[in-house]
Amino acid sequence: MTSRRKFLSTAALGGAASLAAPAIVKAQAPIKWRFQTYAGAALGEFVTKPVIDYINEAANGEMEIELFYADQIVPTGELFQALQRGTIDGVHSDDDSMASPTPLQVFGGYFPLATKHSLDVPVLFDQYGLADIWRSEYEKVGVAWLSAAGQDPCNFNTKKEITSLADLDGLKLYTFPTAGRFLSQFGVVPVSIPYEDAEVAVQTGELDGMAWSGITEDYTVGWANVTDYFLTNNISGAWIGSFFVNQGQWADLPEHLKAIVMAGIEAGHTYRNQWYWGGEARLRAQGDQLQLRSIPQEEWKVVEDAAVKFWDEIAEEGEVHAKIVQIFRDYNEVISKAGPPYTFG
């Protein structure tokens, strides 16, 4: 009996001890991604870094994304190839700058006169079907398209004063491929150089200025230090850019981490909307470096009419091109009837 009591007592103590012992779980190594943005460091702090910071913090150690700025791993024009082969896991860029091998290339960045405001972009993607087209076209080439958003308009900041269309003739401007193709009919000479070299190129005379952004970027990245004038006329009301991920990496990511990535991207869209929108107004009204100039609306109408013809040319390049151009036409017909604030007057 004594032996039996001792056995039961020992067994009970042993059972309690085993229940109380903490489980030893071997922590998994975090999923690590390399991510490159089209933006240089000064701009990237506002347009891309908040997204990456959000994801890294919310992932709670399960995922770590290392952010690289323009041209740090590969030149911006090679971003797509690097993403496709897995040299880079994620990208924030417009389709035009990264030389997308899809029909969508010409529509990324600044498609001439297609938008009026930054909010036009999510409306076009979420309500008019562009998201389905983007997702489908990138699936065909092994890349996961995640989300698009608008940013700032495409104005001109230059050394030379511009008050008429004739003043554009001969201007050497840093701009996007499709924007340069459109502007060349007015005598603009598009120049393609690395993003971070643009400021010095103005100082050396290689460039006369930029047709790349709104006034917020001009002040943020230092371009207001080397140019004198800002043209209030724009060739597009909003940049169209997206977040992309290597298809294999996205497929392997657990669902809860996918949700965190998407939440970070959407939070970044919201942040950029207010950062640009407020900056455009404040710096036009209070900026002390760039003098504002305008081409009269009756003269600028020549540019607007040329954009319509440019759309027609693009629509003839393929079935997908035609479908997207028709969406822009449909949307612009709606906002034209709606009037201000959807249009300018």
Q: Evaluate whether 210 touches 157 at the Cβ level (below 8 Å).
A: yes
Tokens 């010095």 sit at which residue?
200
CA dihedral 102, 238, 296, 337 (to 10 degrees): 90
127: tokens are 């309500």
Interatomic CA distance for residues 87 and 90, integer angstroms:
9
pTM for the structure as a whole: 0.90
Give the Cα separation of 134 and 40 in Å (integer): 25
**What pLDDT does 26 receive?**
42
Name the CATH code of domain 155-236+289-338 (choices 3.90.660.10, 3.30.750.24, 3.40.190.170, 3.30.465.10): 3.40.190.170
Give the HSE-up count for residue 4: Cα atoms under 13 Å, Cβ half-sphere: 1
Query: Beta strands 240-246 and 90-93: pairing type?
Result: antiparallel
Angstrom distances, CA of residue 184 to CA of 170, 208, 329, 332: 9, 15, 23, 24
Q: Given this model, what pLDDT does residue 264 score?
A: 98
Listed in order, strand segments (DSSP E) in the chain are: 31-37, 63-68, 90-93, 143-150, 155-158, 172-175, 189-191, 209-213, 229-231, 240-246, 291-293
Q: 155-236+289-338: same fold as 31-151+238-285?
A: yes
In CATH, the number for domain 31-151+238-285 is: 3.40.190.170
What pLDDT score does 344 carry?
78
Q: Are 325 and 314 in contact (CB under 8 A)?
A: yes
Domain boundaries, the chain: 31-151+238-285, 155-236+289-338
Segments in 292-318 forming alpha helices (H): 297-315
Per-residue pLDDT of the chain (345 residues; tens, 9 = 90+): 445 444 444 444 344 443 444 444 445 899 999 999 999 999 999 999 999 999 999 999 999 999 999 999 999 999 999 999 999 999 999 999 999 999 999 999 999 999 999 999 999 999 999 999 999 999 999 999 999 999 999 999 999 999 999 999 999 999 999 999 999 999 999 999 999 999 999 999 999 999 999 999 999 999 999 999 999 999 999 999 999 999 999 999 999 999 999 999 999 999 999 999 999 999 999 999 999 999 999 999 999 999 999 999 999 999 999 999 999 999 999 999 999 999 876
